Amino acid sequence: MQAYLDNAATTATDPLVIEAMMPYLTTHFGNPSSIHGHGRTVRSAIEKARKTVAQLLGCSPAEIFFTSGGTESDNTAILSAVQAYGIKHIISSPLEHHAVTHTIDYLEKLGVAEVHWLRHNETGVLDLQHLEELLAQYPKSLVSLMHANNELGNINPLEAIAELCATHQAYFHTDAVQTLGKLPLQLDQLNVHYLAGAAHKFHGPKGVGLLYVKSGYGIPPMVHGGAQERNMRGGTENVAGIVGLAKALELAYQHREATWAHTQALKQQMRARLSELLPDLQFNGLSGQDEGCVPQVLNLSLPPAEDGDMLLFNLDIAGIAASGGSACSSGSLVGSHVIRGLREVQQNPMLDLRPAIRFSFSKYSTSDEVEFAAMQLAQLYSASPVLS
C-alpha cells in the first residue's frame, strides 16, 4: 500500500478540472490576444474564469489577476506595493512562507525598506498587541501575514489584522494559499489589499495562481512585455491553467463543508492513533487541536531517535509521502524555519533532537492511508534506538 499525505505541498488534480481544461489544450489553441475567432474563443474563457473566481471570493472581476502561482503573486504584491507607494517599513512574521520572507529580506538588503518581525508564542500564535505597537510606531507600513500557516495550519485572524491595518493606514497583503477554497472569503467586506492563491493547493493544475488587488490600490507590473492581464502581467496567458483554476475553485466551494469535515476526521484519527502508538509525542502549532487550525495539516515532533534525520527517506521507502516543512524548501535538508522559530521561543535545546513531520490531507485521502502511515511510523520508531 501507499499513502499520499503531503497535500499541503500539492493536491491531485480533480478529473473534472482536467476535463474542463482539455479543450484548451487541444481544439481551442488560439492566442487570447488575437482578434480572430480562435483568439476570441479563448479570451472569452479567461474572462469567464475571472468572473467565476470573483463571484466565489466576493469581489469584482477587475480585481483578479492570474499569475503562475502563489510565489509570483506574493512577490508581485510585496515588490510592486513597495514601489507604488514608497513604503519604507514592512511588518511580517518569521513564520511566513519563504515566498514572503525572502522577498522582504531582499528589499531590506537593497536598503529599500526596513523589516519588523512580529512576535509569536511557542505555538506560533501571532502577538497582535505587538502588531498594534509596530503599526503605531510605523504607520502606512506594508503588513504581510498569511491566512493560515502552511506548516502548522494555524489560522491567523484576518479580520482583526485588517482592522488594525485600517486604523493605521497600513497596506495589508495576505498569502491565502492554504485557505483558498477551504475557508470562506468575502473580499468586498474585508480590508485586505492584496491576496495570493495557487490552484494546485485545491485540486487544480500547477503553474497557475491568482492575485487579488483591491480596487483603488493598483500596483505596477513585475512582468513586462505585453498588455495581458490589463497591463499587469505581460506574456501569453496560461489559458488551460486559468480555466482549470476557476473550475477547481468552483468545485472546492461546492464541497467545502464536506471536505472540511472529511479532513478534520482524518486528522483526528491520525492524532489519536499516533498518540496511542508513540510515547512522548508532541504536536506543533495548533495542529494538536481542532480550533484555530485548518483541518488538512497535522504537524508533530517525534521522540528523539538515532536515525531521526532519515525519517522522511524511510517513510518514502515504506510508501508514505509526507513532509518536513514547506515543499519549496523540503529538499534543502536545512530543516524547517517555522519549527526552528517555535523552538527558539521555547528555549529548550533538547527539542532540536526531535524530528518534525507534517502530514496533510485532502478530499482524496482515506482512513486506510492514515492507519497505514501511523503503523509504519510506529514500526520505524520501534526499530530505531531512542535517544535519552
Asked about 328 being catalytic, the answer comes back as: yes
Residue 279 is predicted with a pLDDT of: 82
DSSP state, residue 31:
-
Q: Which three cell numbers stand for residue 62?
A: 477587475
Q: pLDDT of 187-235, one tens digit each?
A: 999 999 999 999 999 999 999 999 999 999 988 988 898 889 988 899 9
User: Residue 277's closest CA among 161, 380, 163, 150?
Assistant: 380
Residue 193 is predicted with a pLDDT of: 98
Catalogue all structural domains in the chain, each as residue range(s) with its CATH number: 3-11+256-382 (3.90.1150.10), 15-254 (3.40.640.10)
Q: How many CB atoms lie within 10 A of CB 100?
A: 26
- Please list, residue by residue across 122-152, b when 16 or more beta carbons sit within 10 angstroms of its beta carbon and e when fewer do: ebbbbebeebeebbeebeebbbbbbbbbbbb
Type and span of the H or E element at 299: strand 297-301
Distance, CA of 352 to chain centre: 25
Residue 371 is predicted with a pLDDT of: 98
Q: Which three cell numbers stand for residue 189?
A: 467586506
Q: Which residues of the chain have pLDDT under 70?
A: 307-308, 325-334, 349-350, 383-388
Q: Which of 59, 165, 293, 328 is catalytic?
A: 328
Residue 352 is predicted with a pLDDT of: 74
